[in-house]
Chains A and B, each alone.
Chain A
Amino acid sequence: MSSLRVTSPFKLGLWLLLAPLCLWLVLLIILPHLELLVFSFTEPEDGSFTFGFYQEFFLEPLYWRTFVRTAVMSIMATILTLLIAFPVAFYIAKMLKGRSKGIVFAMCLIPFWVSELVRTFGWMILLRESGVISNFLQWSGMSAGPVELLYTDATIMLGLVYTSMLFMVVPLVSTLDSLDDSYIEAGYDLGGTNWNVLREIVIPHAVPGIVSGCIIVFMLSLGNYLTPVLLGGKDSLWFTEQIYTQFITRFNWEQGSAFGLLLLLLSSLIVWAGLKLSGQSFAKTMG
């Protein structure tokens, strides 16, 4: 009897707390995506089942090429971000101490509190034909006329790397922070070179941070819309743009749903593969 008194308010509390979570997840995440799934297999005329929208994707080269291009460029952007961010994170986590560490880390974080739109706008001012860099090249004599640096794949890549830098630096700094200096010292003490120590001590320890950083950066790049559209211009050919076009411009929701689900499928596959290869779990990596 006495145990009842304890468990019944406990049970009630559990249901009260479960309710908002389930409402949120079911109404805003699960059902909308199921709806997309149903849409993508439905013929709008008579409501019958069809594979047509997926067929359309594979038959129209523009669609699947954009899809592949988006995936490849996102992977490249992820690798590039990792390569640039790792030395920075290492410097912050291991070379700096105390106050200067806090300040440098904060300097790294603060730019990313500013809207992505503002950051992209900054790159446009720097890179466009009448922009800062073009003017500098002309003034210094390295170029005879104005140079257009916008609207190329390299520009998109630059924008993607810049935009997601923070999401790589933060997890890397926190895992490298947790690596005790004495392991590195022991590595050198036992005769390791810089490269040995990096490869056999530092990087294995940083794997969880590398994985979570890569997953987030990849997802952000894949789902990015602003950067490719603004920096890549008309020919940016980013898959989210295709989704937008189908939904908002052409009002072809069925086709758009099929595209959306393909994008989701691709991202889940790559994230899953990344986790499998590195032996990490999703909940641990994200939480």
Chain B
Amino acid sequence: MIPSIKQSSGFNTIYKSYMIAFFIFLAAPLMVVAVFSFNDSQFPSFPWQGFTTDWFFSAEGEKIGIFFDSELLDSIWLSIGIAIVTTLLSISVACTNAFLFERFDFPGKSFLYMLMLLPLVIPGVLLGVSILVFSSEIANYLEDYWFIDLESLRPGLTLVIIGQFAFITTICTLIISARLKKFDRSLEEAALNLGASPLMAVFTVTVPFLKPAIVGAAIVSFLMSFENFNTTFMLVGSDAPLTVAMFERLREGSTPVLNAISLLLMLGSGVLAIINITMSKKSS
């Protein structure tokens, strides 16, 4: 089964065909999405009506291209904003978590570590509703007893950010901890030995070492936030981020403008993926 063990050519052919079939299976849905974004038709399906870039660039008429569809454009900006804030929050907490779990010993550490992993196994829908219920309870309490109306605790942007932060932090913590685990403590000692204060040693030696992991975690975090649906869907208010907006349109019946935006998303996430993969290769 490994190259050094010869197999019959039939076995090899079957195995290779299986791999090819697998990659066709992986690529097929993405390919059709991309191809139909250029179909000159109101529907992203056959018959093929000819090639057009209207679904990207047309400003008026029956076909409104993605660059002129203000509703979708707004939702893209909204998603980007949410993703940036979520990423900043998650990365900061993930860094402190990584140092806590890698550098300190304290009673209850393994229990806290388990709790920290928990968001990975809580279904996103559930995470969403639990935060929805909890924040609404607090909001009701504040309103009833203190007469404070805290809009940010009602479904809306703040809650979406909080909900995504709740599970993305775990993933970022794992990525950054893995890198910190590889850090040779004697480098920090060397910094102290050369006259750096403990805090200075961390910022001049440890943080630069962690940088590839921090950037990698930030990319993952940005995409996870940008593409999140389950948690977001439970917590949105009147402003819909991109995934929610696309979902609503998909249910109404879609035009190829959705293919166009999907193609853009694929290009965007593909570029980020390649950056991330090459970076993680470099750092290891």
Contacts and interface: CB of A to CB of B under 8 A. Distances in A.
Contact, chains A and B (beta carbon distance below 8 A):
yes
Interface of A: 9, 13-14, 16-18, 20-21, 24-25, 28-33, 35-36, 39, 84, 87-88, 90-91, 94-95, 97, 102, 106-111, 113-126, 128, 130-132, 135, 162, 165, 181, 184-185, 188, 194, 197-198, 202, 215-216, 219, 222-226, 230, 240, 243-244, 247-248, 253, 256-257, 260, 263-264, 267-268, 271, 282-283, 286-287
Contact of A17 (B25, B104, B121, B274): B104
B139 interface: no
B45 A128 contact: yes
B247 A115 contact: no
6 contacts: A21-B93, A110-B270, A111-B30, A117-B229, A130-B43, A287-B174
Given A14-B100, A121-B262, A162-B25, 4 more contacts: A17-B96, A21-B96, A114-B262, A264-B123
Given A125-B33, A181-B2, A113 B110 contact: no
B38 interface: no
Interface in B227-268: 227, 229-230, 233-234, 243, 246-247, 250, 254, 258-259, 262, 265-266
B155 to A, nearest CB: 9
A95 B93 contact: no
B223 to A, nearest CB: 6
Interface of B: 1-5, 7, 15, 18-19, 22-23, 25-33, 36, 43-46, 92-93, 96-97, 99-100, 104, 106, 110, 112-127, 129-134, 137, 162, 165-166, 169, 174, 177, 198, 223, 226-227, 229-230, 233-234, 243, 246-247, 250, 254, 258-259, 262, 265-266, 269-270, 272-274, 277, 281
Nearest to B6: A188
B165 A28 contact: yes
Contact of B123 (A30, A122, A223): A223
Contact residues of B: prevailing secondary structure: helix
A220 B265 CA distance: 22
A115 B22 contact: no
A162 B22 CA distance: 10
A126 B273 CA distance: 25
A243 B97 contact: no
A9 B18 CA distance: 59
Contacts, number: 245
Contact of B1 (A29, A90, A106): A90
Contact residues of A: prevailing secondary structure: helix
Contacts of A95: 1-3, 15
Chain A CB within 10 A, most for which of B25, B29, B124: B29
A28 B162 contact: yes
Nearest to A105: B277
Nearest to B276: A113
B26 A114 contact: no
Contact of A106 (B230, B250, B272, B277): B277
A226 B234 contact: no
B121 A271 contact: yes
A282 B126 contact: no
A181 B3 CA distance: 10
B230 A223 contact: yes
Contacts of B18: 87-88
A123 B26 CA distance: 11
A124 to B, nearest CB: 8
A88 B19 contact: yes
A263 to B, nearest CB: 6
